[in-house]
Structure 1
């Protein structure tokens, strides 16, 4: 900093009135009435009038003209009010931002990859908009995260709900599974069947669940299981492959409902199967302000998906 800068700052400090005086002036300027301004500031009319007079003396200009029923700005007063209002608005925005940064909190959500991609990702912006001070960290693992050791605050998993009683459980979805395909594949199947021809589909499945055999065991429409099959260890790429027109699969209703509404998948038959599993949010007691809003948001967001 140069000597000229130091001198300029010293002169500015001498010219600046107190912050309190500027705030009092700003409130009086907003009301243009000492009584109403005094009520807002919890000051008597006389005390506030003295504060305004002291500011005028400090600046060497008259800021208000006293009228029988209130005040009116002088040209100097109107100029100062415009600048002071802008300054207070800027200061207030800066203080709010500092408060927001200081109050930010990270919430770690461990979630199955398929549910994260197919269900949660499209809905999370609504939570982030409602709670901008929360930073959500999505941790995708195939298995349940130990909430005591993993650092996760919430774990969303496909489960039967058998957990320690110390955990809080929220049922997010129903437990139905549907047979789905792309609209093009479904049309091709119906066309072949209407011609009396045998339709040979590619059957896609999750390698960890025998969904097609469960489908047949439930008495649903017959599928030739000796046809070509393709197995995935994750439902997300399996469903993506089905959407491209590769074949059929049986998948959780929660994972395909949005795609069916969007028209990229179609239910091939009206029947469904149930295995007693559903997606649940599991959480342990935490002294973390961001946790409760997130759990409440999950309840509100997924209530329509529960039977």
Structure 2
């Protein structure tokens, strides 16, 4: 049997108009012109043979028939939205969506991802990178790696992974061109490299070293720390590094740490996710794995 239904675009336009109380706000929500919304509502009224609303100076007023019809439409659209979300989320039961800071992803997480995948071949991992603060109501993600102070967000589970330890590193070949780095004051003879997202790292380390005659804000600045580390490998200068992100480079000799001073910043990396996702299978697999990886790295560094 053929369904006797008015045009769906007209139904959407009227439901949005009734819910917003305004043709203008309905147009903004549906991203069309106000004129298009008005034509759709008029089309629906013609199809039904009734007046659904009247235009007034500050918006619209629903007629009795319009208010009753809008209530039914709202319930129907809510049900469609609920069922659509359920269908869309079902294929994601085995998908772990992670949001990470770019350098954390490039220098720490991706090199370890093969190990996680080997243990959990049924889980697909989707990675996005951003420096922006997580908003689980807006971002379509399961888990976030947060850098900074411990995030105090309602309804969110947070667990510390590891702290931030700063140290200057550079290519061993840098000293073929520039003087050696035997003491912190020798940095005055070198180009300082840093990330634009970490402008306080050099000043923090220099203060701890007791140096007030070297400007930590001078030098070459890069969009993220991963680029700054690569610049150091390419012998452009000395980068203020986060220890966890250069361990492999120090081990293989791509980078060296000629100065012994290590400075903690008080900032740390945290795994963060909504408490409502705590029982999700992908989260239950991921959290203990990344906590164990962090603990192993800390133990190896301590040794």
Cα deviation for residue 169 of structure 1 reads: 1.7
Distance 1:160 1:222, change over 3 A: same
Cα deviation for residue 149 of structure 1 reads: 2.1
Residue 227 of structure 2, aligned match among 231, 237, 242:
237
Distance 1:107 1:193, change over 3 A: closer
1:280 equivalent in structure 2: 270
1:103 touches 1:133 (CA, 8 Å); kept in 2?
no
Q: Would you say 1:114 and 2:103 are equivalent positions? A: yes
> Partners in 1 of 2:254 and 2:213 — Cα distance?
22
Distance 1:267 1:121, change over 3 A: same
Cα deviation for residue 295 of structure 1 reads: 0.6
Q: Give the unaligned 5+ runs of structure 1.
A: 1-101
1:202 touches 1:227 (CA, 8 Å); kept in 2?
no
Q: Report the TM-score when normalising by structure 2.
A: 0.61
1:186 touches 1:266 (CA, 8 Å); kept in 2?
no
> Partners in 2 of 1:129 and 1:151 — Cα distance?
25
Tell me which structure has the larger Cα radius of gyration: 1
* Equivalent residues, number: 205
1:200 equivalent in structure 2: 189
* Superposed CA offset, 1:85-136 (max 9, x none): xxxxxxxxxxxxxxxxx89711100001111000001101001010000000
SS at match of 2:153: coil
> Partners in 2 of 1:174 and 1:268 — Cα distance?
22
> Partners in 2 of 1:182 and 1:222 — Cα distance?
25
1:62 equivalent in structure 2: none
Residue 257 of structure 2, aligned match among 245, 261, 267:
267
Distance 1:282 1:104, change over 3 A: closer
2:163 touches 2:266 (CA, 8 Å); kept in 1?
no
Distance 1:239 1:222, change over 3 A: farther
| C-alpha RMSD over aligned residues | 2.9
